[in-house]
């Protein structure tokens, strides 16, 4: 059964935001890229509902137009050539031949009008994994990123990101912290992300790396942001800016802090454990849907 929100759904124009015509595919990392069983994790082998290449097949299915162009952006990666070749290989296996790699490595690269022109022709964009802070530091505020945002808002462009490329999509971006901890104030660091997905914070490799506590700390610091934890080989497809569908072999964890009754995160010192009461959690599997709520105080 889909998780439904009691918050009355209003047009996003009431919040001063246009409803995006594009879609986002936000991937938790290590998505299946091959039919070969030896690349599957133990969890995938045990999952009777596992579908090989399910997430990337859905990405290809969502592309619009004849001979659609996929633009691969390895800006987060420290090995951009290797990372790009991996995605070129898998997309060709899935029947897409029209591929371009935009290898942006500096702020000057992000101002190159030739790269912006490529985005204007794209049907889909793929941000690879790597270091999310590297990605935002290179692309934040650039003409290249603004071109992606404009097309995502006004046209049927699908923007995908995996691992670091997924974490960077949100309003608030976690870029450092203890994976197997996070219970002490200061063990999680966040900054502004690319802001394609509003009012959320995203974390990836979520269950495998035990990241629920650090996400709870992020939500405690800003209860207006919904925490979305994506397990490996698991994704959310977002349409209209906040309507999401779960795709893949793992779980999506939702942490909703809008009804938090109390937290001491602002009172304690760095290095002390934080308290949070009234935090809601949902666990969603393949095919489930969820509406990302807007801040209750801003919906009229």
- Which tens digit of pLDDT belongs to each residue from 1-35? 455 443 434 445 545 678 999 999 999 999 999 86
Q: What is the pLDDT of residue 174?
A: 93
* pLDDT surpasses 80 at 63: yes
* Angle in degrees, 0-180, between the axes of helices 113-121 and 143-154, rounded to the nearest 10: 20
CA distance 177 to 198: 22
Q: Walk me through the domains of the chain, giving residue ranges and CATH numbers.
A: 21-33+48-181+189-201+229-249+286-298 (3.40.50.880)
CB within 8 Å of 211: residues ≥ 6 apart = 179, 182, 203, 205, 229
Query: Among 244, 181, 178, which residue's Cα sits nearest to residue 23?
Result: 244
**Rounded average pLDDT over 118-140:** 97
* pLDDT surpasses 60 at 208: yes
- pLDDT interval class at 71 (50, 70, 90): very high
- CA 240 from chain centre, in angstroms, equals 15
- pLDDT interval class at 180 (50, 70, 90): low
- The terminus-to-terminus CA distance of the chain in angstroms comes to 28
CA distance 18 to 241: 9
Q: What is the pLDDT of residue 219?
A: 96
CA distance 192 to 171: 6
Measure Cα distances from 258 to 65, 185, 199 in Å: 40, 20, 11
DSSP secondary structure letters along 248-285: ESS-EEEEE-TT--EE-TTTSPTTSBP-EES-EEEEE-
CA distance 31 to 14: 36
Judge whether 237 and 23 are in contact, CB under 8 Å. Answer: yes
Q: What is the pLDDT of residue 4?
A: 46
CA distance 13 to 17: 5
Question: Is residue 16 exposed (0-12), middle (13-18) or buried (19+ Cβ within 10 Å)?
Answer: exposed
Judge whether 157 and 244 are in contact, CB under 8 Å. Answer: no
Q: What token pair was written down for 285?
A: 């599997």
Q: What is the pLDDT of residue 297?
A: 32
DSSP assigned state of 151: H
- pLDDT interval class at 177 (50, 70, 90): confident
* Mean per-residue pLDDT of the chain: 90
Q: What is the pLDDT of residue 178?
A: 64
Q: What is the pLDDT of residue 294?
A: 72
* pLDDT surpasses 50 at 52: yes
Q: What is the pLDDT of residue 42?
A: 67
pLDDT, tens digit, for every residue of 181-196?
A: 789 999 999 999 999 9
């Amino acid at each position: 059964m889909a998780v439904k929100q009691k918050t009355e759904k209003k047009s996003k124009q009431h919040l001063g935001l246009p409803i995006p015509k594009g879609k986002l595919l936000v991937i938790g990392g290590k998505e299946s890229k091959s039919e070969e069983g030896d690349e599957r994790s133990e969890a995938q082998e045990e999952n009777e509902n596992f579908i090989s290449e399910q997430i990337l097949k859905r990405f290809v299915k969502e592309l619009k137009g004849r001979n659609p162009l996929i633009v691969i952006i390895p800006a987060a990666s420290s090995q951009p050539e290797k990372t790009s070749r991996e995605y070129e290989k898998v997309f060709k296996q899935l029947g897409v031949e029209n591929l371009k790699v935009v290898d942006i490595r500096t702020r000057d690269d992000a101002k190159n009008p030739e790269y912006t022109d490529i985005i204007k022709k794209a049907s889909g964009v793929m941000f690879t994994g790597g270091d999310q802070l590297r990605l935002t530091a290179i692309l934040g505020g650039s003409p290249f990123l603004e071109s992606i945002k404009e097309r995502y808002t006004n046209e049927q462009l699908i923007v995908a990101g995996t691992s670091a490329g997924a974490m960077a999509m949100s309003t608030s971006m976690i870029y450092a912290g203890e994976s197997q901890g996070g219970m002490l104030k200061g063990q999680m660091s966040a900054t502004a992300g690319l802001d394609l997905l509003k009012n959320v914070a995203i974390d990836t490799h979520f269950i495998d790396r035990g990241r629920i506590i650090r996400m709870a700390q992020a939500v405690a610091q800003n209860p207006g942001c919904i925490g979305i934890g994506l397990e490996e080989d698991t994704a959310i497809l977002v349409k209209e800016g906040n309507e999401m569908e779960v795709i893949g072999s793992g779980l999506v964890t939702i942490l909703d802090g809008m009804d938090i009754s109390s937290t001491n995160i602002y009172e304690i010192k760095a290095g002390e454990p934080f308290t949070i009461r009234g935090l809601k959690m949902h666990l969603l599997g393949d095919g489930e849907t969820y509406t990302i709520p807007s801040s209750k105080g801003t919906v009229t």
